[in-house]
Structure 1
Amino acid sequence: MSIRVAIVGTGGIARGQHFPSLAALGDRVVIVAVTDTDPASARSAADEFGVPAVYDDLPGLLAAERPDVVVLATPPIAHRAQAIAALDAGAWVISEKPPTLSLAEYDEIAEHEGENGPFVSYIFQHRFGSAAMRLRELIRDGELGRALVAQCNTLWFRPPEYLAVPWRGKWQTEGGGPTMGLGIHQMDLLLSLLGDWSEISAAMATLDRETEMEDVAMATVRFESGAMCSITNSMLSPRESSQVRIDFERGSFELEHLYGYAGDGRRRIPLGPRRERLEQHAPAAVRLGHRRVRAGRAPGSARRGGTPHARARRRDVQVGARAPHRRSSRADARGSVLPVDGGRGSCRRDRRDPREHAARLTRPGVRARRRAAPGSRGGRASRPQALRRRRPRTARS
């Protein structure tokens, strides 16, 4: 039997995410009704997604349809009353973030949940990404040691017209600025990895937008484990980025993306600079990816057999990411970067080795032009020749 779903709110998030996601479940669910404070929007969404019934309000919908699940795609100010109404009607609730405008409202909703359901679930999908789930396993098993230092940044850009929506930019209806509406996803991901916090100091400011609330907020957080974290939430950052970085005793985890990381993000664990630590802990770090296959081309010593770490790296590097490169002793001292979960840009190249650059310039088909200086005989030496003369120094034993 299909699960009967009703959707409350037919704006952008409902049309862009909830309707398509429910439709992708096929016969497992059926959307039986929608409602919105704007009847024209509700009717338009029903026509677009083939929903049979449209109601003027939620109480009428609940009484007539008796849905199994109610999806709340409405502004934060509406969540408390709508969630309580659905729970009292026996429906389970899936609500958009933020859950409510205050902890008191959150506790009030919880009082209407049953011992065995129905319950309310909130949209915090980032904690269920593959990289986060695998990292939680490594933290639980102690593979990386204790978490020590972390960063959590949500640096997004919202133009002034973003705040023109009537319920945005007001304490009474939205409840907060980028901390409540934007950075809440990354902060939830961070909490799912590091646990509860014990101390917070924060500052916020309204620097550029016409709003009652902040447009930038920064915080320093101490977790119960002792780890320290800095958090930045902004709606003023033209180059948008979402980032969580955690430095453990034996490695650093970094997840960088924008609005999600289903293949467009970068996940990597750069391991520490000491060679023995690199060889000891690299295999566990590399296995963060779900697939383990041979890389198409392994660099340097890995192609010739090389060190145990190089051979392990050749076996375990994930498809979709460039194999790690060790360019020089200086690059090796900084630590190699190991790709995780195959996101684009998973591996950054280390500093270019001049010897390799010279070899690339002098291979067949690539010629450097000679520039003749006035009064000279034969002109200046080509760049490859100059590079060959300037051989890099090697460390003395």
Structure 2
Amino acid sequence: MEPIRAAIVGTGNVARLHAESLRELGEDVRLVGAVDVDGDRLTTFCDRHDVPARHRDLASLLEKDRPDLVHICTPPGTHYDLALACLEAGSNVLVEKPPTLSLAELDNLIEAERRHGAALATVFQHRFGTGALRLRAMLDSGVLGRPLVAICHTTWFRNQAYFDVEWRGRWDTEGGGPTMGHGIHQMDLLCAILGDWTEVSALARQQARRMETEDLSMAHVSFANGAVASVVNSLLSIREESYLRFDFERATVELTHLYGYGDDDWRITPAPEYADEVMAAWQAGSSGVPSAHRAQFAEVLRSLRMGTPAPVTSAESRRTMALVAGVYASAFTRAPVRPAELSTDSPFYRKMEGNGPRW
């Protein structure tokens, strides 16, 4: 079969990860073009990664190269317009997180998928490491019992200079602070394991940094399966860590890493009476694949070949985005929020900050 024709929009640092991952996937995919408004950056990127077609605007790429899949690696505030143009041209889209700045924008893209027969997927690569796949399979099999309690903490550090960059720490360009732009990866993995959430109670603060958005949020989240989770998103934590913990009836499963994990970053502690069964299932599970971009890209390419929805689908992304919106809505209204309350009538449907935060 002919290789899938891929292109990259935005040639900054994250685009390098995309290009390298695509190259590692071999003959299944061919990087045919790239787009950037900065000509020097575009030239450097294309020379380094052997990209034949170079464009200063997306319309030129879509018209001349007609890619099957477009990777969007630009700042968050540009994602919606670029993704919409790709879908309207019939090209599938793989967009870096967050896919859009609001639920309204994401729903518009979901409608565009339906109209134009192309698909949108979001880069949430933590779902695709074998540790997460193993945990999900064990939960589905029943060997772990019911999920009871979870912890989802993204405690990272960014100094003031980081937010002094013009487009950072702003609602109109990033859609939020660490809840939207940093902890969303861990929150997505939390939802991938525990499923639909039913209520969130949260707070958000400008604790130490000077910017429009929050630099800290904390939330209590309830899930449809009865589990409850504590969620913390911080950019004030000098000892940085990403930590997820799932307490099931028969075992505790923990993941400690920073920006990506391998098998060695997981730990399981079974209840004594279930130790043999739980450990046998853990040791027999998938292994050997870290939570890097390549793992997700391989699944996206496989799905495109088979004509099935490419992960992470727009519907799955929406559940995570709704949780982000719920955190902000609860924090700024100072009341618990359920998913149904984030309807088109809610100010938090069109903007993550709603009618404006109460600092």
SS of residue in 2 equivalent to 1:138: helix
The one-letter amino acid paired with 2:86 is A
1:283 corresponding residue in structure 2: 277
| Aligned twin of 2:166 | 166
Is contact 2:148–2:226 with CA below 8 Å preserved after alignment? Answer: yes
Using the alignment, how far apart are the partners of 1:141 and 1:290 within structure 2?
13
1:287 CA drift (Å): 3.1
Q: AA paired with 1:287?
A: A
1:103 aligned onto 2:103: yes
| Residues 1:183 and 1:284: Cα distance change in structure 2 (over 3 Å) | same
| CA separation of 1:85 and 1:259: change in aligned 2, threshold 3 A | same
Q: Show structure 2 runs of 5+ residues with no match.
A: 289-359
Structure 2 CA distance for aligned equivalents of residues 116 and 148 of structure 1: 42
Q: TM-score, normalised by structure 1?
A: 0.69
**Shift of the alpha carbon at 1:280?**
3.3
Q: Larger RCO: Structure 1 or Structure 2 (Cα < 8 Å, ≥ 6 residues apart)?
A: 2
- How many angstroms apart in 1 are the aligned matches of 2:159 and 2:280? 40
Matches within 5 A, 1:129-144: 129-144=129-144
Matched, 1:154 2:148: no
**Alpha-carbon contact 2:157-2:234 (below 8 Å) kept:** yes
SS in 1 for 2:174: coil
Q: Would you say 1:176 and 2:170 are equivalent positions?
A: no
How many aligned residue pairs are there?
286
User: Is the partner of 1:202 in helix, strand or coil?
Assistant: strand
User: C-alpha separation between the residues in 1 aligned to 2:65 and 2:136?
Assistant: 40
Shift of 1:225: 1.5
The structural deviation recorded for 1:131 is 1.5
Q: Partners of 1:18 and 1:56 in 2: how far apart?
A: 19
Structure 2 partner of 1:30? 30
Q: Secondary structure at the match of 2:82?
A: helix
Following TM superposition, by how much is the alpha carbon of 1:271 offset from its aligned partner in structure 2, in angstroms?
Answer: 2.5
Within 2, Cα distance between the matches of 1:94 and 1:266?
27
Q: Is the 8 A contact 2:251 2:278 kept in 1?
A: no
The code of the aligned residue for 1:173 comes to T
| Cα shift at 1:63 | 0.7
- Offset, 1:146: 1.0
Which residue of structure 2 lines up, in the alignment, with residue 41 of structure 1? 41
Partner of 1:8: 9
TM-aligned CA deviation for residue 281 of structure 1: 3.4
In structure 2, how many angstroms separate the alpha carbons of the residues matched to 1:73 and 1:290?
A: 36
Shift of 1:290: 4.5
2:269 alignment counterpart: 270
Tell me if structure 2 keeps the 8 A contact 1:131–1:288: no
Measured after TM superposition, the shift of residue 90 of structure 1 is: 1.3
- Please, what is the CA RMSD of the aligned residues? 1.9
Percent identity reads 49
Superimposed CA distance per residue, residues 324-372 of structure 1 (whole angstroms, 9 cap, x where no aligned partner): xxxxxxxxxxxxxxxxxxxxxxxxxxxxxxxxxxxxxxxxxxxxxxxxx
Whole-angstrom CA distance in 2 between matches of 1:4 and 1:194: 35
Q: Secondary structure at the match of 1:66?
A: coil
In the alignment, what sits opposite 1:79? 79
Does the CA contact (< 8 Å) of 2:70 and 2:91 recur in 1?
Answer: yes
Alpha-carbon displacement from aligned partner over 1:115-157 (angstroms, at most 9, x marks no partner): 8942011000111121211111121121111111110001111
Residue 266 of structure 1 aligns with an amino acid whose one-letter code is D
For the residue of structure 2 that corresponds to 1:45, the secondary structure is helix
Which residue of the partner structure matches residue 393 of structure 1? none
Asked whether the equivalents of residues 87 and 116 of structure 2 are also in contact (C-alpha less than 8 Å), the reply is: no
Task: Please show how residues 200-211 of structure 1 align to structure 2 within 5 Å.
Answer: 200-211=200-211
Contact kept, 8 Å, 2:79 with 2:99, in 1: the verdict is: yes
Q: Is the 8 A contact 1:124 1:185 kept in 2?
A: yes
8 Å Cα contact 2:243/2:257 also seen in 1? yes
SS of the residue 2:213 aligns to: coil
Gap runs ≥5 in structure 1: 273-277, 293-317, 319-397
Residues of 2 paired with 1:148 and 1:106: CA distance?
31
Shift of the 130–55 alpha-carbon distance from structure 1 to 2, 3 Å rule, reads same
Q: Secondary structure at the match of 1:288?
A: helix
Say if 1:184 and 1:291 are closer, same or farther in 2 by CA, change over 3 A: closer
Secondary structure of the 2:211 match is coil
